[in-house]
Amino acid sequence: MKSSIKTITLVIGTALGALLGFEAARTLIKQSEAAGKSTPVTASQALQVGLGALGLLRQVSGGRK
């Protein structure tokens, strides 16, 4: 694979990941404020989301079968 294609793929993937993370955080904050909570998520919820995201990335990248 050409180096330029790798670079473009990394830049686009990074930008999309950052935008998706930003929107997810913004949504959590809005929901938390609407419910009158002081924190958007608990530590266990954050861990569950993180592990779910890692599982999704493994599936998308064709990880272990």
Average pLDDT of the residues of the chain: 86
Q: Can you tell me the distance from the alpha carbon of 6 to that of 45, in angstroms, rounded to the nearest whole number? A: 34
Q: Is residue 20 part of a domain?
A: yes
pLDDT at 14: 94
Instruction: Work out how many domains the chain is built from and give that number.
Output: 1
Q: Is residue 65 part of a domain?
A: no
Q: How many residues does the chain have?
A: 65
How confident is the model over 42-62, as a mean pLDDT?
Answer: 85
Domain span holding position 47: 3-60
pLDDT in tens, 25-39: 888 888 888 888 888
Q: Which of 21, 20, 40 is nearest to 30 (CA)?
A: 40
pTM attached to this predicted model? 0.64
Long-range own/partner contacts, residues 24-33 (CB < 8 A, 24 or more apart): none
Q: Is residue 53 part of a domain?
A: yes
